[in-house]
Amino acid sequence: MANLYQEQSNNVWRTLWLMTGFLIVVIAVGFAVSYYYGEPSILYGAVIFALLMNVGSCWFSDKIVLSMTHAKPATRGEYFDFYTVTENLAITAGLPMPKLYVIHDPAPNAFATGRDEKHAVVAATTGLLSMMSRSELEGVIAHELSHIKNRDMLVMTIAVVLAGFVAIVADLFLRMSLFGGGNRDDNGKTGALFAVLAIVAVILAPIAAQLIQLAISRRREYLADASGALLTRYPEGLASALQKIGAYGRPMQNASHATAHLFIGNPFGSKAGQFMNKLFSTHPPVEDRVRRLLGH
């Protein structure tokens, strides 16, 4: 397994590749549509859109994810244990104190987001905060702080935003092409282009979702588990927390494949047996994570 510094460097490169890939896809689709309609302005618009989305996904990704998960700011007075545990572990890890958010959901789960250590956010569900003992909560928070320390969260969060917008762009261009028009000729080039464009637009949406899996590997969860255990010096706390999270049967109220990989546990619950949920799962089996933590 790569060491911490290698993993941090790899995450920077993954982020750059992800943003470059998004830029290429949007410009390519924009070029096809501009050619179809004979309007170069569509290509220019696609270039501007892709550049703005790359910048926006980096600077505003945390706000977008918090909005998608319906997270609300957590105060020290109302969530004292959550605040003090995070504060103590952040000091131990040498990290700035992240902003804390709470998701009002009975399913136990948590995630970290933000573009860097100085703009980090840790969010936890009310179910997790009420269900965990202090040592278990320390294990969960240490895991999330490890994602921040390892620079996982930047590529994890940008994947949510860019993959989602690739799907939106594909759907938009498909709808535009259905209205006809364009540079029609007697050789049937336009009809062939329309058919190819339609097929590409249709398949881009599931590819965008699959992009999340390609950018986010299960190895990161193992690395964050190991780093979190080193931070607390008590792997049993995180192991117990993972067992509780994994045993909870019901899914989160706003579970989404777009944000699923951000959470410490599968947001679709232990009873999520549908084919699609398994196909897009980015979480290693809880049993394997616990076994590694406890050295069994």
Annotated catalytic sites, by residue? 144
DSSP state of 102: E
CA distance 151 to 155: 8
- A 10 A CB-CB count for 26 gives 23
Question: Tokens standing for 238?
Answer: 């995180």
Six-digit token string for 37: 């309609």
Euclidean distance between CA atoms 254 and 168, whole angstroms: 20
**Interstrand relation of 121-125 and 99-103 (parallel, antiparallel or unpaired):** parallel
Q: Return d(Cα 228, Cα 128) in angstroms, integer.
A: 17
How would you classify residue 72: left for phi > 0, otherwise alpha for psi between -120 and 50, otherwise beta? beta
Alpha carbons 120 and 116: distance in angstroms, whole number: 6
Q: Where are the alpha helices (DSSP H) in 69-102?
A: 80-93
